[in-house]
Amino acid sequence: MATAHSKSAARMMIAPAVFVLLVWMLIPLCMTLYFSFADYRPMRGIFEAWIGFKNYESFLTSSSFMKSLLTTLWMVGGILTITITGGVAMALLLDKPMFGQGIVRILVIAPFFVMPTVSALVWKNMFFNVDNGLFSYAYEFFGAQPFDFLSQAPLLSIVIIVAWQWLPFATLILLTAVQSLDSEKLEAAEIDGAPAFARFRFIILPHLSRAITVVILIQTIFLLSIFAEIFVTTNGAFGTRTLTYLVYQRVLESQNIGLGSAGGIIAVILANIVAIFLMRIVGKNLDN
Amino acid sequence: MARAITTQKKVMWTALAWAFGLMMFFPIMWTFLTSFKTEATAISDPPVWFFFDWTLENYADVQARSNYPKALMNSIIIAVGSTLLGILIAVPAAWSMAFVPSNRTKDILLWMLSTKMLPAVGVLYPLVLLAKWLGVMDSRVLLVVVLMLINLPIIVWMLYTYFREIPGEILEASRMDGASLKDEILYVLTPMALPGIASTILLNIILAWNEAFWTILLTTVDAAPLTKFIASFSAPEGLFYAKLSAASMLAVAPILIMGWFSQKQLVRGLTFGAVK
Amino acid sequence: MGNISLNQVTKSFGDVQVIPPLDLDINEGEFVVFVGPSGCGKSTLLRLIAGLEDTTSGHISIDGNDATQLPPAKRGLAMVFQSYALYPHMSVRKNIAFPLRMAGLDEAAQTAKIDAAAKALNLTDYLDRKPGQLSGGQRQRVAIGRAIVREPSAFLFDEPLSNLDAALRVGMRLEIMELHEKLKTTMIYVTHDQVEAMTMADKIVVLQAGVIEQVGSPLELYHAPRNKFVAGFIGSPKMNQIEGPEAAKHDATTIGIRPEHLTVSKTEGMWKGRVGVAEHLGSDTFIHVHDTGLMDMMTVRITGDIEARHGDTIYLTPVADQMHRFDEKGLRIA
């Protein structure tokens, strides 16, 4: 229904949301932009309003930046690999006929609802800890030396923690997609003599490709901003400093606002690139 | 499907699925069990599973800590507050997009979703600065507003999808019956959309409760919710696994329960409809 | 009360004009039916009158007042939707009460009106049920009840019987007509079914592509259709329309003769043909005749039954004063 009355009402009704988000986007972002072109180190009382692109230069050329990019890549890549392959496997498994499927789903979904600080601390102390963690007991039980996860493989540790949290998400999404697969296609293939793996490769996987893409994109957006888990376990040390964490440290720990802001802008640009791909898929779906 | 599913196969899948399910759930189960142990039992070698002297001393200890009740209160206020504030702003917006769509509706919706993609570090310092300048640093109000802003796109999106399922004719009928816009939304739309609104509230409370960036960096003592309270266990002070477990269970249990009811909403809310 | 006028009303959606400038007068107490094929604009026209859509240009006046800019709530009209549009979360009583609540009536007055409407529509036993617990016909009545209590200057019906099964449809048709007899309020009724139009209307408005082809009483449209479209739309089975030399014989580009205005004979008549399919209903028989040389297939309606087998020769003769003549523009020749 579209009358002049309802159209103007609609404009008024949507205004608060648009206004509020606009302010949220513009003001802080513009401030960050502004600071990125300044030399501002409050702890040392330095403030120079305009130094051009020097912050960007030094941020981009610093060794910490390249390392943080790699760290981010490894972390996000590792988590994605585990969650996607695990998610596909779990989704296929949960789709099979079984007893107590509802309960199994609940068990699998649960980790997603645990707050990041809790899961990080529980894993850090009760599983990874080299003296008292469960994994150490397991190692000793099998006669091996306990492996100090957090100091010997900190990145892997964090990957495990976050993958544990996000595997349920991927599973749920992929399960929804698997359940939308028309069983007739699979049956036809079976009748045609296709073995299980071929059925998986040529029918199931292509059908899931769209869902997998969505999971990858959405998870990437969220994974780029992993914070609490790092904060609470390694505080960015031992090669676990992602781009996000690097910017955080520059801004709040070393208080080099100018440098940190430049880093923040760079992070925004990188995130936008991922977002554009996601928006295209979502946009296509909105047309339906 | 005419072919019978053999019980044997079913048992096999059941075993496999339960194995993985239990593996995934194990850390939570372990935390639950440990929360009832004494500290000594918690780190015993070999680890004990079920047969030990269950005690409630850890729960008592955690709850007696001066900042636990406050942290709990803060979590509740921040999660519920930001959600309700978000609903207030989102319901009219979703109404407008669902029932009076224009050529720009799709673009506006996409733009709103894109604001969620903004990396928090990109606006970290300005927010800290603004908070200090406005005198709201470490206040619940600040967190309610910030968390509302980061979750608003999801709330709008979810309400939009639920509203679209309501037949527009019923709202037209209410207009013919003399209802003003306020009447239409209050007496017709909201009751009909109540399940959808409830689901949205549920999912959002979960997301806000678990938020662990702003709640950690924008608070110190007064407004620190459970996310930060737990983080205070990260510097070890002697034996503390059992207490950590109790604190964790207290922080996590309500959300686990809410979460079990909101699986479908999770898919709807966080994939923005890209997966049906 | 209940006079509605449309003056040079147009409606466009974007660049597409679905209703070119249109004038129409509806008088107090009339039962007016908007009828036409799908997409002809009849529902759009109804919604323009209701105020659910804005006119692109032109004026609508209700009881002498310009209502063009008024929102639906202020036009004093009531509408029954095709899907009934009942409030699913409210009981029947609350559904019917809703407009009264919006008008600010006190509880006692509300109850009085609701009970009266319920009695008139046989809904008294269902007042506490929810729409989901009612049958299609009952929901239909609740929708009507909700409209009645508003005491509008006109009722608007948007294809109200389309969702009912055939048997129910006939019954409801009569009920709506009885309602009109009793209330004497103006009713504007949209349908694509020309039988509904013919049986219910005081005045029929035939629409095609947003244009009013003809306005008139059912019998006027039957006996004197203004053009070929109306001639073919009103009356079932459709009027036989013949072009070519046979039409020229009668000084027209097209002649039309309704199936019920042809007499048949096995031996002699004006036109000769071969029997195709014959539909025997007992009360009537429809015979489809081929190879007349006049048109692809002519339809004849006969009361009672006739022995006519597939392939038989048959002669048709039109009843003299029932032949319609149309010129090259498709308009009626008097």
pLDDT of residue B230: 86
pLDDT of residue C303: 87
pLDDT of residue B174: 93
For residue B137, the Cα-to-chain-centroid distance in whole angstroms is 23
A96 has a chain C CB within 8 A of its CB: no
Residue A104: inside a domain: yes
Distance from CA of A256 to the nearest CA of B (A): 10
* Record: contact C98-B192, CB cut-off 8 A: no
C125 has a chain A CB within 8 A of its CB: no
pLDDT of residue A2: 62
Is residue A261 within 8 A of residue B122, CB to CB? The reply is no
% of chain B exceeding 90 in pLDDT: 37
In the predicted model, is pLDDT for residue A23 greater than 90? yes
- DSSP alpha helices (H): ranges in C70-201? 92-102, 107-120, 136-148, 166-183, 194-200
CA A90/CA A182 separation, integer angstroms: 19
As a whole number, mean pLDDT of residues B75-95 equals 95
**Domain boundaries, given as residue ranges, for chain B:** 67-232
Residue A49: inside a domain: no
Please give the full DSSP string across A90-143, using - where no structure is assigned: HHHHHHS--SSHHHHHHHHHGGGGS-HHHHHHIIIIIII-TTT-HHHHHHHHTT
pLDDT digits (tens, 9 = 90+) for B163-180: 988 888 999 999 999 898
CA A146/CA A127 separation, integer angstroms: 11
pLDDT of residue B171: 92
CA A9/CA B171 separation, integer angstroms: 14
pLDDT of residue B238: 60
Is beta strand C57-62 parallel, antiparallel or unpaired with respect to C16-26? unpaired
Burial of B136 by CB count in 10 Å (0-12 exposed, 13-18 middle, 19+ buried)?
middle
In the predicted model, is pLDDT for residue A158 greater than 70? yes
As a whole number, mean pLDDT of residues C16-23 equals 92
Is residue B115 within 8 A of residue A21, CB to CB? The reply is yes
Confidence of residue A163 (pLDDT cuts 50, 70, 90): very high
Is residue B30 within 8 A of residue A117, CB to CB? The reply is no
Is residue C114 within 8 A of residue C127, CB to CB? The reply is yes
Of residues C55, C163, C153, C194, the one with CA closest to residue B169: C163
What number does CATH give the domain C237-326? Answer: 2.40.50.140
Residue A113: inside a domain: yes
Distances A167 to A111, A143, A159, A160 between C-alpha atoms, Å: 8, 31, 11, 10
B102 has a chain C CB within 8 A of its CB: no
Residue partners of A58: CB distance under 8 A and separation at least 6 = A259
Q: A141-155, B80-94, B104-118, C69-83: which range is least confident on average? A: A141-155
pLDDT of residue C91: 93
pLDDT of residue A286: 59
Of residues C189, C177, C257, the one with CA closest to residue C225: C257
CA B249/CA B211 separation, integer angstroms: 17
Of residues C276, C207, C227, C157, the one with CA closest to residue C9: C207
Strand partners, C6: C24, C60
Distance from CA of C130 to the nearest CA of B (A): 13
Residues in C touching A9 (Cβ below 8 Å): none
pLDDT digits (tens, 9 = 90+) for C263-308: 988 888 888 899 989 888 888 889 999 988 888 889 999 887 777 7
C-chain residue closest to B173, CA distance: C85
Tokens of C7: 């003056």
pLDDT of residue B2: 47
pLDDT digits (tens, 9 = 90+) for B200-237: 898 899 999 999 999 999 998 889 999 988 887 765 56
Residues in A touching B42 (Cβ below 8 Å): 132
C53 has a chain A CB within 8 A of its CB: yes
pLDDT of residue B90: 95
* Record: contact B170-C102, CB cut-off 8 A: no
What number does CATH give the domain B67-232? Answer: 1.10.3720.10
At C1, the amino acid letter reads: M
As a whole number, mean pLDDT of residues A141-164 equals 85
Number of independent structural domains in chain A: 1
As a whole number, mean pLDDT of residues C177-201 equals 92
Tokens of C235: 């009356």
Expressed as residue numbers, the domain containing A129 is: 54-287
Domains C4-230 and C237-326 are alike in CATH topology: no
A-chain residue closest to B274, CA distance: A282
C57 has a chain A CB within 8 A of its CB: no
* Record: contact B108-A124, CB cut-off 8 A: no
Is residue A25 within 8 A of residue A17, CB to CB? The reply is no
Q: b/e per residue, A126-140, with b = 16+ CB within 10 A?
A: bbbbbebbbbbbeee
pLDDT of residue A282: 66
SS3 state of residue A187: helix
pLDDT digits (tens, 9 = 90+) for A218-240: 888 889 889 999 988 888 888 88
Burial of A8 by CB count in 10 Å (0-12 exposed, 13-18 middle, 19+ buried)?
exposed
As a whole number, mean pLDDT of residues A56-62 equals 88
Residues in B touching C86 (Cβ below 8 Å): 170, 173
SS3 state of residue C305: coil
Q: How many residues does chain C have?
A: 334
Strand partners, C265: C315
pLDDT of residue A173: 86
Number of H helices, E strands in chain C: 9, 19
Distances C310 to A35, C247, C278 between C-alpha atoms, Å: 93, 28, 8
Residue A30 φ then ψ, to 5°: -65, -40
For residue C29, the Cα-to-chain-centroid distance in whole angstroms is 17
Q: What does DSSP assign to residue C239?
A: P
Chain B neighbors (3+ CB pairs < 8 Å): A, C
Residue A237: inside a domain: yes
Residue A280's CATH number: 1.10.3720.10
A8 has a chain C CB within 8 A of its CB: no
Fold of C4-230: Rossmann fold (3.40.50)
CB < 8 Å from A in window 238-277 of C? none
CA A59/CA A37 separation, integer angstroms: 12
Residue partners of B144: CB distance under 8 A and separation at least 6 = B77, B78, B81, B82, B85
Tokens of C271: 């036109």
pLDDT of residue C222: 93
pLDDT of residue C190: 95
As a whole number, mean pLDDT of residues A160-177 equals 91
pLDDT digits (tens, 9 = 90+) for C107-131: 999 999 999 999 888 888 989 999 9
| Number of Cβ pairs < 8 A linking chain A and chain B | 320
Q: A31-40, B83-92, B260-269, C51-60: which range is least confident on average? A: B260-269
In the predicted model, is pLDDT for residue B65 greater than 90? no
Residue partners of B59: CB distance under 8 A and separation at least 6 = B35, B246, B250
Residue A229: inside a domain: yes
Q: How many residues does chain B have?
A: 276
As a whole number, mean pLDDT of residues A15-21 equals 94
Of residues A155, A4, A177, the one with CA closest to residue A74: A155
B-chain residue closest to A113, CA distance: B256
A-chain residue closest to B12, CA distance: A98
CA C294/CA C247 separation, integer angstroms: 9
pLDDT of residue B275: 60
SS (H, E, C) chain B: CCCCCCHHHHHHHHHHHHHHHHHHHHHHHHHHHHCCCCHHHHCCCCCCCCCCCCCCHHHHHHHHCCHHHHHHHHHHHHHHHHHHHHHHHHHHHHHHHHHCCCCCHHHHHHHHHHHCCCCHHHHHHHHHHHHHHHCCCCCHHHHHHHHHHHHHHHHHHHHHHHHHCCCHHHHHHHHHCCCCHHHHHHHHHHHHHHHHHHHHHHHHHHHHHHCCCHHHHCCCCCCCCHHHHHHCCCCCCCCCHHHHHHHHHHHHHHHHHHHHCCHHHHHHHHCCCCCC
CA B249/CA A233 separation, integer angstroms: 19
Residue A157: inside a domain: yes
% of chain B exceeding 70 in pLDDT: 92
A-chain residue closest to B8, CA distance: A98
Residues in B touching A98 (Cβ below 8 Å): 10, 13-14, 17
**Domain boundaries, given as residue ranges, for chain C:** 4-230, 237-326
B-chain residue closest to A235, CA distance: B234
